[in-house]
Structure 1
Amino acid sequence: MPCSDGKISLVIFDCDGVLIDGERQSTDLMAQEARKYGWDLTDDQAHRIFTGGELAKIGELIGQKTGQDIPADWDMMMQNRIVEMMKTDAETVDGAEAMLESVIQLGLPIRVGSNSSGAEMDAKFQNTGLDEVLEKERIHSGRDLDMPKPRPDIYLHAAQAEGVAPAECIVLEDSDAGVEAARRAGMACVLLRAPDKPAPEWPGLFRIAHLSEFPPLLETLMDQQQAA
């Protein structure tokens, strides 16, 4: 497992579900769209199916399930609606600000790697005040770079921008697609998920139930590396 007995040089955060509590609002919006085209699924079902997904792929899936022609620019229309919604409705995940400050105090560089667009993350971070903590040039969009998870490219891009090896990075994720992206990138990964929820079967995958558990875990790993 990368980082478990090696150097930690960079912490990379997913956005939705890790820093910003906006995933549910977005998938509810997609559920409305799916029902409009004739796919009878609930908001809860949409949340399970669409979380962590790429908008273009979600549009394709709705078309496949309903047999309807989805507009070619459906993903851009949805993106614009999500951005407008997040300008007023975005909220932080419980404990996000304190967790970020604690990680920074440990002396670890931080970056964000998300499937969200740059415009969407700008809206989310500005509305919640996280733009005071997260520097714009350290925020990377898988959508804008055409590197959506579960491809590893967005995380490899963040490591390259920092000038560190993938094996020296640790990722905090909440989605299966994000965990798979970290695995493919050769990075350690911590999954933020309630203990009663299923998780990917990846030996060595770290797991926490609340963001407050993340800085102590990092401290433990850093202590292990110093003792090695």
Structure 2
Amino acid sequence: MTPVALPKAVRPDGRLRLVIFDCDGVLIDSEGPSCRLVAQELRQIGLDYDDEEAVQRLAGRALTRIKVEAEAETGRKLPDDWATIVQYKLVDLMREEARVIDGAHDMLTAVIGLDLPVRVGSNSSIAEMDVKFARTGLDRFVADRVHSARDMGKPKPDPAVYLHAAETEGVPADECVVLEDTDTGANAARAAGMACVLLRPLDLPAPDWPGLFRIGHLSEFAPFLERIQAAQAGHHGGRS
């Protein structure tokens, strides 16, 4: 069997040209409050979604997909605008409860210091991300470089939001690295042909495929990218 080639972004003979971040669970610590709010909405239509299990069951999943599955499970037709209504509630919630993931400010400073452009691709809406980034001060890093799979109508694991971010930057997909925290997002990056770094405690399970890497804390991410840059510069005689 022929080995699967790694994306160019992480190969010594390739080039790393763009870093794309997921939002929730990577830059913004919002998944707990957000998932509990969605669980509350689901309980109101008769589904057994416990707050304690909400993050495990709902993290990284699009509201539109949750709506379809809830309708199938309950046999009830939810309002066409159910996902939109819940989204508005999430925006209001994040005005008060969005928190930054530990190390995000320092990590973004370090990545940008490597002369790497950054973008964000998330299942959250632009309205929700605007509130989150403004509250946490991350807007100074990512202003006008944010893309919403929800607003595109193509939530992850569809790779559309990542492909759009790369296209907007003018960079081939296989020269991008994505930082994700969910299997759903990692699968979107994989489908886009991008390398992916999974932010997750190393004692927890994760998918296994070429081009997927692991870190346990954001402080490990910039050094990981710097090692890739050094290998590529060495291969290209000092030109990355």
What residue in structure 1 maps to residue 15 of structure 2?
7
| 1:35 Cα offset (Å) | 1.4
| 1:44 Cα offset (Å) | 3.3
- Provide the C-alpha distance between the structure 1 equivalents of 2:187 and 2:27, rounded to a whole number of angstroms: 19
* Structure 2 counterpart of 1:4, one-letter code: V
* Structure 1 counterpart of 2:212, one-letter code: L
With normalisation by structure 2, the TM-score equals 0.92
Whether 1:219 aligns to 2:226 is yes
Map Cα deviations across residues 164-200 of structure 1 (whole Å, 9 max, x no partner). Answer: 1111100000011110111111111000001121111
Extract unaligned runs of 5+ from structure 1.
Answer: none
Moved more, 54-63 or 120-129: 54-63
| 1:201 Cα offset (Å) | 2.1
- Provide the C-alpha distance between the structure 2 equivalents of 1:30 and 1:122, rounded to a whole number of angstroms: 20
Whether 1:94 aligns to 2:102 is yes
Moved more, 41-50 or 8-17: 41-50
What residue in structure 2 maps to residue 74 of structure 1?
82
Structure 2 counterpart SS, 1:111: strand
Structure 2 counterpart SS, 1:12: strand
Structure 2 counterpart SS, 1:133: helix
Extract unaligned runs of 5+ from structure 2.
Answer: 1-5, 236-240
- Provide the C-alpha distance between the structure 1 equivalents of 2:62 and 2:223, rounded to a whole number of angstroms: 32
* Structure 1 counterpart of 2:138, one-letter code: L
Q: CA RMSD in A?
A: 1.1
- Provide the C-alpha distance between the structure 2 equivalents of 1:115 and 1:40, rounded to a whole number of angstroms: 24
Whether 1:192 aligns to 2:187 is no
| 1:34 Cα offset (Å) | 1.5
What residue in structure 2 maps to residue 35 of structure 1?
43
User: Map of 1:162-181 to 2, 5 A cutoff?
Assistant: 162-181=169-188
- Provide the C-alpha distance between the structure 1 equivalents of 2:128 and 2:211, rounded to a whole number of angstroms: 32
Structure 2 counterpart SS, 1:178: helix
- Provide the C-alpha distance between the structure 1 equivalents of 2:210 and 2:51, rounded to a whole number of angstroms: 32
* Structure 1 counterpart of 2:209, one-letter code: W
Structure 1 counterpart SS, 2:32: helix
- Provide the C-alpha distance between the structure 2 equivalents of 1:134 and 1:175, rounded to a whole number of angstroms: 21
Please tell me whether the aligned partners of residues 178 and 196 of structure 2 are also in contact (alpha carbons under 8 angstroms): yes
| 1:43 Cα offset (Å) | 1.9
Whether 1:110 aligns to 2:113 is no
Map Cα deviations across residues 20-60 of structure 1 (whole Å, 9 max, x no partner). Answer: 00011111011111211111231233322211111011112
- Provide the C-alpha distance between the structure 2 equivalents of 1:26 and 1:68, rounded to a whole number of angstroms: 23
- Provide the C-alpha distance between the structure 2 equivalents of 1:212 and 1:161, rounded to a whole number of angstroms: 27
Q: Displaced runs of 4+ in structure 1, greater than 3 A?
A: none
Map Cα deviations across residues 44-82 of structure 1 (whole Å, 9 max, x no partner). Answer: 333222111110111122222223332211100100000
Aligned residues: 227
| 1:162 Cα offset (Å) | 0.5
